[in-house]
Amino acid sequence: MDAVAEQNARDNPTTGPYDLLQKAVRDNGQILINLRSTRKIIARLKAYDRHMNMVLEQAREMWVEHPKGSKKGKPINKDRYIQKMFLRGDSIINVVRNPK
Percentage of the chain with pLDDT > 90?
62
Q: Give the mean model confidence (pLDDT) for residues 24-50.
A: 94
Domain count, the chain: 1
Q: How far is CA 27 from CA 23, 75, 97, in A?
A: 6, 36, 12
Indicate whether 11 pLDDT > 70: no
pLDDT band with cut points at 50, 70 and 90 for residue 64: very high
Q: Are 31 and 23 within 8 A, CB to CB? A: no
pLDDT band with cut points at 50, 70 and 90 for residue 42: very high
Cα separation, 94 vs 41, in Å, equals 11
Cα separation, 59 vs 45, in Å, equals 9
Domain residues for 32? 3-97
CATH number of residue 41's parent domain: 2.30.30.100
